[in-house]
Amino acid sequence: MPIVGKTYRMNPQQAKKADEESRESDGARGPAAAGVPTVLLVRHGQTKLNSEQGERLRGWLDLPLTKQGKEDAAGAGEELKDYDVAALFSSDLRRARQTAKIVGDTIGVKPTANPKLRPWNVGNLAGKLVSDIREEMDYYQKHPDKKVPGGESFESFYDRWEQELLTLLRKAEKLPRGQVVVALTHVRNLLTAPHILAGEPESGERGPIRVIGRPHPSTGEVVAITKQNGKWVMDKSKFQSRSSPTL
């Protein structure tokens, strides 16, 4: 069912409010997050296309981790030792599965692969230099119902990811006190999550969600979503500006 002009489109004031609310949970990690429903989203480790110099769009390309990527995964695993992890899910793309395997070995939890945790399928644009395709990516963000050749529309990606994130949140709510759900996913999923958590806008002039050239977590970062005062909020303290715009 099309969602153009609905869940993922909001006016500037609503977008600002979503960012502010997601920052309210800064520091909600480890023992501090115990006792409230928590989902931890982990960005996969580095691949050869993630380098700051000459970065290329990855999409659904099935890339392995680099040496640095395996170190990223090990670091995430060490951080997750602070949590009582009830379930570990992962995108089924290789870079995410490898990250999940390293994390799972570290915390003693077997990961479960889930294709619904994949990023936006950018089709024929995958593998191309970010600097060469910015205009094309802008077009598909401004026209979210348009399918990328060989891939999917932004609308299709958003709808799939929205449903899966909501499923993860429901799982977390049913867990015993202090346990958490962990999901290994991708940067586009992390960038759209605050908009999903903010919900559907009621009125006002709406514009597209921006998922390029925005502050974002580094590879291997762990980002917490916690339920506070009846609302799900995302800790965006690890969303940092980088020297190159990540796609």
pLDDT in tens, 139-149: 988 899 999 99
Look at residue 32 and tell me whether its pLDDT is greater than 60: no
Q: How many whole angstroms separate alpha carbon 179 and alpha carbon 188?
A: 26
Please state whether the predicted TM-score (pTM) of the whole model is above 0.75.
yes
From the list 8, 49, 10, the residue with the least C-alpha distance to 189 is 8
Instruction: Please tell me the predicted confidence (pLDDT) of residue 35.
Output: 83
Q: Which of 71-80, 101-110, 156-165, 191-200 has the lowest mean pLDDT?
A: 191-200
Contact indicator for 80, 106 with CB cutoff of 8 Å: yes
Distance (Å, whole) CA 176 – CA 20: 29
Q: Within the chain, where are the H helices?
A: 12-23, 67-80, 94-107, 134-142, 154-173, 187-198
Confidence of residue 11 (pLDDT cuts 50, 70, 90): low
As a whole number, the mean pLDDT across the chain is 82
Given this model, what pLDDT does residue 181 score? Answer: 98
Burial class (CB in 10 A: 0-12, 13-18, 19+), 234: buried
Instruction: Return the higher-pLDDT residue of 180 and 210.
Output: 180
For position 65, what pLDDT does the model report? 93
**Residue 171 clears pLDDT 80, i.e. is over it:** yes
Whether residue 2 has pLDDT greater than 90? no
> Tokens standing for 9?
């489109």
pLDDT at 210 over 90: no
Q: How far apart are CA 166 and CA 170, in angstroms?
A: 6
- Across 179-193, average pLDDT: 94
For the residues 117-128, what does the mean pLDDT come to? 91
Q: Which one, of 33, 8, 30, 58, lies nearest residue 219 by Cα?
A: 58
pLDDT in tens, 42-100: 999 988 877 656 777 787 888 899 999 999 999 999 999 999 999 999 999 999 999 99
Query: Average of pLDDT values for 207-234?
Result: 82
Q: What pLDDT does 37 receive?
A: 96
Rounded distance, CA 240 to CA 234, Å? Answer: 14
* Cβ neighbours, 10 Å, residue 35: 10
- pLDDT cut 90: percent of the chain above it: 54
Q: CB neighbours (10 Å) of residue 97?
A: 19
In this prediction, residue 5 carries a pLDDT of 37
Q: Is the pLDDT of residue 1 over 60?
A: no
pLDDT value of position 110: 98
Helix (H, G, I), strand (E, B) or coil at 179: strand
CB count within 10 Å of CB 40 equals 25
Backbone angles phi, psi at 241, to 5 degrees: -70, 145
Give the three-class secondary structure for 168. Answer: helix
pLDDT band at residue 128 using 50, 70 and 90 as cut-offs:
confident
Q: What is the pLDDT of residue 121?
A: 95
- Mean pLDDT across the stretch 24-48? 72
Q: Is the pLDDT of residue 245 over 50?
A: no
